[in-house]
Chains A and B, each alone.
Chain A
Amino acid sequence: MKQRKLEQATKGVFALSTVVTGSLAVLIFFFLFYFSMPLITSGHLGEFFSSRWDPDAHAFGIYPMIMGTVYIAMLATLLAAPLGISLAIFMEVIAPPLLSRFLRTLVEFMAGIPTVVYGFAALFLLVPLVRNIFEQGSGLCILTALLVLALLIIPTVTMISQDRLKNVPETYILAAKSLGASDVETLFYLYLPHTWKGILSAVVLGAGRAVGDTMIALMVAGNAVQIPSSLIDSARTLTSHIALVTAADYESKSFKAIFICGLILFIFSAWNILFLRILGRLKR
């Protein structure tokens, strides 16, 4: 009898913790929504999506930040995906075991490099380089940010892709080899058809990291509020826009616009996870 009560009590503790942790995401959404509510119901929501941000002139458009995020994150993903996937394939399919082990350790170490350290190193190494090569601008631009950001998300892409490639059954690989397939043939006819969904989800997760990162864009993209038109244009992302908030007045419109940025980022994350779920359910 006493034992039974104890069982119930412990289960209650587990359940209670789960309720607390499980509701954190909802709580964050609620806060963001609550603080941007006045803007949404004011009927002037449209003005926050205009392309002009100038608090002195009462213009609070965050469209440039949305485009900044889209350009930087998309280009970084387009660069990181082929490189990261190739590295995973290299380690799993053609590299000798010792080299493969070394590279895995390297990638795991890369995952631990703080983003602020990436930003710091890039600021004093890559930024002057870009400035000298293009001979215009300050070097603080989309190109610099996307190069560093690609490096940041490569571990995500590589580690998940490699784990999926590892899941290809050994017997299949041996069967392919015994039929005389070369490494590259095994890759195209066995590994890739078997793992494309996993590799795609690795890329989607990588893109999520690229959109969500703050420090790299904040430190090396220049933070100018403008819709970028070339690779060496300066740009501001939604994340750096939130980081740059210095509003002393928490009731001001420029502070409230921050919550729209937060809400967009949150909804993007939710959409991303949903997409991964649907992808996971698809039949090959």
Chain B
Amino acid sequence: MEYSVPQDFGTVKKVKRATENAVKVFLWTSAVMITGAVAILLLFLLKKGAPGLSLKLVFGDADPLRALFLQERVFNGIFPAIVGSFLVVFLSVTWAIPLGVLTGIYMAEYGNGHLKKILDFSFDLLASVPSIVIGLFGLTLAIFLHRNFSQRLYPCLLISSFSLAILIIPYIVRTTQLSIEEVSVSTKLAGLSLGASKIQNLLYVIMPASVKGILSGVVLAMGRAAEDTAVIMLTGVVATAGIPNSLLSKFEALPFYIYYISSQYSDQAELVTGFAAAIILLTVCGTLFSFAHVLKNVLVGKDNGF
């Protein structure tokens, strides 16, 4: 955008106007193209999947109420996949929250110097390691444990939830650390100056002030765990397993069901269940991610008040 010395000012103005317009057209086009692509994707999913959305999709021929209370097995519905997904997400969050939040507190309140820099790098790295590599790690862990500790150990719900926990821990650490660091210095000092000990200050002043931020991290982590397919497909998910009856059993999961249907469907009806399952998973994950962002925005807005 360097202009030469203006000799004919009118031409320069025209060229300038033309460049400006070209840039604006390009920006508008990008926005329209991206919005359009997402709209087409959503409409396509809805058109194909909506007819399949019914109680029958979830429970098959079983009685919904009896299936819900696990009195009747569901054979041709996605109920086991939904339960499996719920369980594996619930378990992974159970492992990841305490570790992640405690680490986040350490990073924000105690960490300093070289150690903190190394840890920073380690969490950034963990967050960027491809999920399939984490899945591969889970698989080798299962093989390792199987050989050295118990012959009964195979890839299973427990291994999957461990691996997913590794996948989401960096998110929880980071959001915890950030939300604590974002609490204003005056708030932090106020508690201490009133005679609170460091731990009291943490529990009664800092944590309540940063709980929304931490929650947004947890919700985001749940979304990541629920949508991930690569980790679980190496660590214990299968196409048919029913409701898992122990931590050491194989399990079904919604994302894997969608992947499985895409390659193994035998007729149109089965394909429709794949589309319907995709709509359900999309709704769950979309809601979780959007909710996480709402929480984060509330947090950012609030901190200006201090």
Residues of A within 8 A of B (CB): 3, 6-7, 10-11, 13-15, 17-18, 20-28, 31-32, 35, 82-84, 86-87, 89-91, 93-95, 103, 105-106, 108-121, 123-125, 151, 154, 182-185, 187-189, 205, 208, 211-215, 218-219, 239, 242-243, 245, 250, 258-259, 262, 265-266, 269-270, 272-273, 276-277
Selected from B27, B34, B119, B198, the residue in CB contact (under 8 A) with A89 is B27
Stretch at the interface among B54-62, B68-76, B182-190, B222-230: B222-230
Chain A residues, Cβ within 8 Å of B12: none
Closest B residue by C-beta to A187:
B23
Interface membership of B306, Cβ < 8 A: no
A-B contact pairs, 24 of them (CB 8 A): A11-B110, A17-B102, A23-B122, A25-B125, A25-B126, A27-B137, A28-B166, A86-B26, A91-B31, A95-B31, A108-B290, A112-B285, A114-B226, A120-B262, A120-B275, A120-B278, A121-B44, A213-B130, A214-B130, A215-B230, A242-B135, A242-B234, A262-B136, A272-B128
By a CB distance below 8 angstroms, the chain A residues around B134 are: 28
State the total of A-B contacts with C-beta under 8 angstroms: 236
A34 shortest CB reach to chain B, Å: 8
Instruction: Decide if A87 touches B34 in the complex (CB within 8 Å).
Output: yes
In the bound complex, CA of A280 to CA of B34 (Å): 29
CB contacts (< 8 Å) of B281 on chain A: these are 114, 116-117
Q: Please give the distance in Å from A180's CB to the nearest CB on chain B.
A: 12
Residues on A with beta carbons closer than 8 Å to the beta carbon of B130: 211-214, 239, 265, 269
Q: By the criterion CB–CB under 8 Å, are A21 and B128 in contact?
A: no
Q: B20 contacts the other chain (Cβ, under 8 Å)?
A: yes
Q: Which residue of B lies closest to A80 (CB)?
A: B34
CA distance A277 to B19 in the complex (A): 35
* Pair B111/A18 contact, Cβ less than 8 Å: yes
Cα of A184 to Cα of B122 in the assembled complex, Å: 40
Q: Are A21 and B133 in contact (CB under 8 A)?
A: no
A18 touches B125 (CB 8 A): no
Contact residues of B between 105 and 152, Cβ < 8 Å to A: 105-107, 109-111, 118-119, 121-126, 128-137, 140-141, 143-144
Assembled-state Cα–Cα distance A84/B121 (Å):
26
Q: Are A109 and B289 in contact (CB under 8 A)?
A: yes
CB nearest neighbor in B for A240: B132
Does B298 belong to the interface (CB within 8 Å)?
A: no
Q: Are A21 and B173 in contact (CB under 8 A)?
A: yes
> Which of A6, A84, A119 lies in contact with B262, CB distance below 8 A?
A119
Across the interface, which residues of A come within 8 angstroms of B103, CB to CB?
14, 17-18, 20-22
Given A215-B259, A242-B132: A22 touches B30 (CB 8 Å cut-off) = no
**0 or 1 for each of B274-300: is its CB under 8 Å from A? (1 = yes):** 110010011001111110010000000
Pick the residue among A26, A93, A154, A214 that contacts B122 (CB under 8 A): A26
- State which of A17, A32, A83, A125 has its C-beta within 8 Å of the C-beta of B133: A32
Q: How many Å from the CB of B186 to the closest CB on chain A?
A: 23
Is residue B98 within 8 Å, beta carbon to beta carbon, of the partner chain? yes
Instruction: Please give, as numbers and ranges, the residues of chain B lying within 8 Å of A262 by CB-CB distance.
Output: 132-133, 136-137
Task: Please indicate the chain A residues that have their CB under 8 angstroms from the CB of B199 in the complex.
Answer: 6-7, 10
Chain A: CB-nearest residue to B101: A17
Q: Is the CB of B31 within 8 A of A90?
A: yes
Q: Are the C-beta atoms of A120 and B258 separated by less than 8 Å? A: yes
Nearest CB on A from B279, distance (A): 9
Which stretch (B35-43, B204-212, B244-252) binds chain A?
A: B35-43
Nearest CB in chain A to that of B38: its residue = A110
Query: B129 contacts A17, CB within 8 Å?
Result: no
* B178 at the A interface (CB under 8 A): no
Partner of A154, one of B23, B34, B197: B34
- Chain B positions within 8 Å of A84 at CB level: 34
A35–B140 CB distance below 8 A: yes
A205 to B23 Cα, complex, angstroms: 25
Q: Give the residue name and chain of the B residue nearest to A147 (CB).
A: B37
The answer on a CB contact under 8 Å between A117 and B45 is: yes
15 extra A-B contacts, CB within 8 A, seeds A32-B137, A187-B23, A273-B128: A13-B102, A17-B102, A24-B122, A86-B27, A90-B28, A111-B289, A114-B229, A120-B275, A184-B24, A185-B1, A189-B1, A205-B128, A212-B131, A219-B263, A269-B128
User: Considering residues A84, A93, A117, which has the most beta carbons from chain B within 10 angstroms of its beta carbon?
Assistant: A117
- Nearest A residue to B166, CB-CB: A24
Choose one: A18, A31, A119; the contact of B141 (CB below 8 Å): A31
Residue numbers in B under 8 Å from A269 (CB-CB): 125, 128-130
Q: Is the CB of B122 within 8 A of A266?
A: no
- Complex Cα distance, B259 from A117, in Å, reads 9
Q: Which of A15, A120, A183, A187 has the most CB of B within 10 A?
A: A120
Q: Which residues of A contact B217 (CB under 8 A)?
A: none
Q: Nearest-CB distance from A211 to chain B (Å)?
A: 7
User: B233 at interface (Cβ–Cβ under 8 A)?
Assistant: yes
Q: Distance in Å from the Cβ of B252 to the closest Cβ of chain A?
A: 14
Cα–Cα, bound, A84→B38 (Å): 13
| A218 proximity list for chain B (CB < 8 A) | 259
CA distance A7 to B119 in the complex (A): 22
Report A-chain residues with C-beta under 8 Å of the C-beta of B106: 14-15, 17-18
Shortest A169–chain B CB gap in Å is 16
Q: Is B255 an interface residue (CB 8 A)?
A: yes
